[in-house]
């Protein structure tokens, strides 16, 4: 089962996980990561924009790579775009597999790629002003582990 989506409205991660679990009978485990907008440091909002002709196909290519690399039964990848506020989920990646290690590593793999090599541009609003966010050195190092 593969469920890859871009959403413009807030979502409730738990409402995605139950149906995803049910769509993968016989699984041994599910690993899920949910990323939320942090409000620390005075963050008022986060805006994610993307290049539509590349984003959805790129997410499907990432899913293909995860299925090829790990023994997965299913993969759920949901990412928000638009303006988000502290406490709102940005991303939910969930992998179902016969064995936990494959699910855990697949989620880690997908998140490292989404964080550093994806088709999104991020900026955050602090004190009423917008500032662009670039991947950190640690993000690039995390991505390099998979090469």
- Domains, the chain, in order of start with CATH, read 2-144 (3.90.1170.40)
For the chain, what is the mean pLDDT?
Answer: 94
**What global pTM score does this model have?**
0.94
Q: What is the pLDDT of residue 140?
A: 85
Predicted confidence band of residue 136 (pLDDT cuts 50, 70, 90): confident
Predicted confidence band of residue 142 (pLDDT cuts 50, 70, 90): confident
Q: Which residue has the higher pLDDT, 51 or 91?
A: 91
Share of the chain above pLDDT 90, in %: 86
The CB-based long-range contact list for 7-14 (8 Å cut-off, 24+ gap) reads: 7/78, 7/79, 7/80, 7/81, 8/80, 8/81, 8/82, 10/80, 10/84, 10/88, 10/89, 11/78, 11/80, 11/89, 11/92, 12/89, 13/89, 13/92
């Amino acid at each position: 089962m593969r469920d890859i989506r871009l959403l413009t409205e807030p979502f409730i991660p738990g409402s995605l996980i139950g149906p995803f679990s049910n769509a993968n009978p016989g699984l041994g485990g599910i690993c899920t990561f949910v990323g939320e907008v942090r409000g620390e440091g005075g963050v008022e909002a986060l805006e994610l924009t993307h290049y539509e002709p590349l984003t959805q196909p790129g997410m499907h290519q990432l899913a293909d790579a995860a299925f090829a690399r790990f023994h997965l039964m299913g993969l759920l990848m949901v990412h928000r775009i638009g303006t988000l506020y502290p406490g709102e989920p940005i991303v939910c990646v969930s992998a179902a597999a016969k064995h936990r290690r494959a699910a855990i590593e697949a989620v880690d793999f997908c998140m490292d790629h989404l964080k550093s090599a994806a088709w999104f541009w991020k900026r955050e609003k602090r004190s009423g002003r917008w500032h662009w966010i670039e991947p950190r050195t640690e993000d690039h190092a995390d991505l390099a582990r998979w090469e």
